[in-house]
Amino acid sequence: MLQNLPIPFLVLSFLTILSALYVVTSKNPVHSVLALIFTFFTISAHYVLLNAQFLAVVNLIVYAGAIMVLFLFVLMLLNLSKESEPVKSNWWGIAAAISAGSLLLIITAAFQVSGEAVAKNPVEGIGLVKALGKVLFTRFVVPFELTGILFLAAMVGAVLLGKREKAVDALISKEESNG
Amino acid sequence: MDSALFLEKLILIVVILAITLVMALYFTFGERKIAAFFQDRLGPNRVGPFGLLQPFADGGKLLFKEEIIPKNAEKWLFILGPGIAMIVATITSAVIPWGTSLPIFGRDVQLQVADVNIGVLYIMGIVSIGVYGIMIGGWASNNKYSLYGAIRASAQMISYELSMGLALIAVVMMSGTLSLREMVEQQVGLNWNVWYQPLGFILFLTCALAECNRAPFDLAECETELIGGYHVEYSSMKLGFYLFSEYINMFISSAVMACVYFGGYNFPGMHLISDPMILGIAQVAVMFAKIFFFVFLFMWIRWTLPRFRYDQLMRLGWKAMIPLALLNMLATGAVSLFNSQGF
């Protein structure tokens, strides 16, 4: 079965899985994040192979360019090392493995059903900007707008959480004046 | 893909890369000459006629300096940092149209490496990963000054990327395309986007300065506070790569500005030239004239304005640039809606 697949796909998949494994197994959190960034790059390359250039670039901008920068930022500020890392019991690892494994099972099962349906009705240039924009703003306009509202709510929430409350400020200044 | 096209693209990539590197080399010379002019002195004039060989002397010196990797540094990441900075700086040139085409050996050679239909997004993507070179280098040095520099640089780049994207979206809404070539083709003659998007252009220029870590936004390498910023532990050609990538970034962002706002290779009276060879060369020349103007502008600003304070920089980014960019986007949307169907 493997020899029927195109070589770029095989190479990319190998790299993706290898770097994804390194994300989990690496002891150094900064190395983990860098490996995760590399994984996003290879996934973007997969999108390009599928002729979905828009998704490829958006994946890079959003995940590799924005979210991972913040991850790296926090890790560098905390400067975690092996000594300062809290020791967790093995049960955490087992629980994580079980939940990730069941997620993998569900996704594979879902793709077995939907993959055939997609293969039967391919849409011309669905990954390109024009086609995607049309679909998003006509057929899926309600979910799209709802996602927008969700993002706005998350943004407002983040700003609110980041804001210091007046009562806390007053408490801090009181303690400072006492001490 | 047929092999002739493959060869053509390969040669084009090599030529563009070589031109970019030579340009960056001579921008360092230009920067010193311009700085000298602004400060009423002569500048480098000892090596070669008018000091023209100075960049090669500088490069040779950097190359033969001792390579030092600090004992406590993360060795591989320390080496990776400047490499990423350099790669990211050079790959943006892939989507920039330098001219329409040149007839060479009977083939119509398109003067653009890849005419992808998401050119503008590609540039935004590269800009957004541009911060990794500085961040990784600064962190791997294991020095608190370089870590401060790296963190300052990344916070600054994230902040200004947002308004840069918003300024670009207004142009995309107006021209209705994400391809840089189509965008340039729409700006025939003097029908440049800058007349319709003056605010967007000023926002983009400011963000470009911040993204390139150029003064007045060069907080990442603020000598007085950080002794040198993210590259304080670097020596030899690794330092050279960091310094070089700054000039390449400047060259490429000038090219992007020329394409998006100033009509790229278009010039008035272009339709009067019928010979495709002369037309192609003239277009490339016009494109480079525009790029040189912007690079000069970058240098002019650097040697005129003092550096911002960090809180001023953040306040400008979040409280002035982003609201203005949003307003610009809203106004552009309203005007294009009015133009297309009236109220």
- What SS3 state is found at B110? strand
Please write the tens of the pLDDT for every residue from B284-334: 888 899 999 999 998 888 888 888 888 888 888 888 889 999 999 999 888
**Of B129, B151, B178, Cβ closest to residue A65:** B129
Residue that finishes a domain, picked among A36, A64, A81: A81
Two structure tokens written together for B144: 């608190």
Chain A CA closest to residue B158: A66
Query: What's the rounded mean pLDDT across residues B36-64?
Result: 85
User: Which residues of chain B neighbour A34 with C-beta distances below 8 Å?
Assistant: 77, 136
Q: Where are the domains of chain B?
A: 68-341
Domain boundary among A46, A64, A81: A81
Tell me, what's the pLDDT at A81?
Answer: 58
Q: What is the DSSP string of B278-325?
A: HHHHHHHHHHHHHHHHHHHHHHHHHTTSPPPPHHHHHHIIIIIIHHHH
- State how many domains chain A has: 2
Answer for the pair B121, B287: CB distance below 8 angstroms, yes or no.
no
Percent residues over pLDDT 90 in chain A: 21
Q: Which of A82-91, B87-96, B243-252 shows the lowest per-residue confidence on average (mean pLDDT)?
A: A82-91
Q: Verify whether the Cβ–Cβ distance A57 to B136 is below 8 Å.
A: no
Which residue, among A32, A48, A67, A69, would best test binding to B if mutated, counting the most B CBs under 10 Å from its CB? A69
Given pLDDT bands bounded at 50, 70 and 90, which one contains residue A1?
low
Given a cut of 80, is residue B29 above it in pLDDT? yes
The verdict on A77 and A148 lying in the same domain is no
Task: Answer yes or no: do A7 and A75 share one domain.
Answer: yes
Question: Which CATH number goes with the domain that contains A21?
Answer: 1.20.120.1200
Q: Among the three residues A81, A96, A125, which one is the final residue of a domain in this structure? A: A81
Mutation target vs B (from A26, A54, A76; most B CBs, 10 A cutoff): A76
Do the chains contact at B121 and A65, CB–CB below 8 Å? Answer: no
Q: According to the model, what pLDDT value does residue A150 have? A: 95
Going by the DSSP 8-state scheme, the letter that residue B307 receives in this structure is P
Find the mean pLDDT for residues B146-175: 85
Q: Summarize pLDDT for B68-118 with one digit per residue, the tens.
A: 888 887 888 888 888 888 888 888 888 888 887 777 777 777 777 877 778
Query: What is the distance, to the nearest Å, from the Cα of residue A65 to the centroid of all Cα atoms in its chain?
Result: 11
Q: Do A129 and B117 touch (CB under 8 A)?
A: yes
Q: Is A178's pLDDT higher than 70?
A: no
**A1 and A77 part of one domain:** yes
Query: pLDDT tens for residues A114-123?
Result: 777 666 666 6
Residue B99 corresponds to which tokens in the numbers above? Answer: 């001219």
Residue A134 lies in a domain: no
Of A30, A60, A76, the CB nearest to B129: A60
Residues of B in CB contact (< 8 Å) with A are: 74, 77, 116-118, 121-122, 124-125, 127-129, 131-132, 135-136, 139, 147, 150-151, 154-155, 158, 161, 178
pLDDT digits (tens, 9 = 90+) for B218-229: 776 766 677 777
- What is the torsional sign of CA B97, B101, B105, B107? positive
Which residue from B77, B122, B136 is facing A57, i.e. has the nearest CB? B122
Local structure of A106: helix, strand or coil = helix
Length of chain A: 179
pLDDT in tens, B203-212: 999 888 888 8
In a domain, A19, yes or no: yes
**Cα of B269 to nearest chain A Cα, Å:** 33
Average pLDDT value for residue range B254-282 = 83
Buried residues in B130-140 as b, exposed as e (16+ CB within 10 A): bbbbbbbbbbb
A108 lies in some domain: no
Identify whether A96 is part of a domain: no
A25-70 per-position pLDDT tens digit = 887 888 888 899 999 999 999 888 887 888 888 888 888 888 888 8
Domain range for A12: 1-81
Q: Is B243 left (phi over 0), alpha (psi -120 to 50) or beta?
A: alpha
Q: Is residue A121 part of a domain?
A: no
| Closest Cβ–Cβ partner in A34, A66, A77 for B151 | A77
CA–CA distance, B132 with B115 (Å, rounded to integer): 26
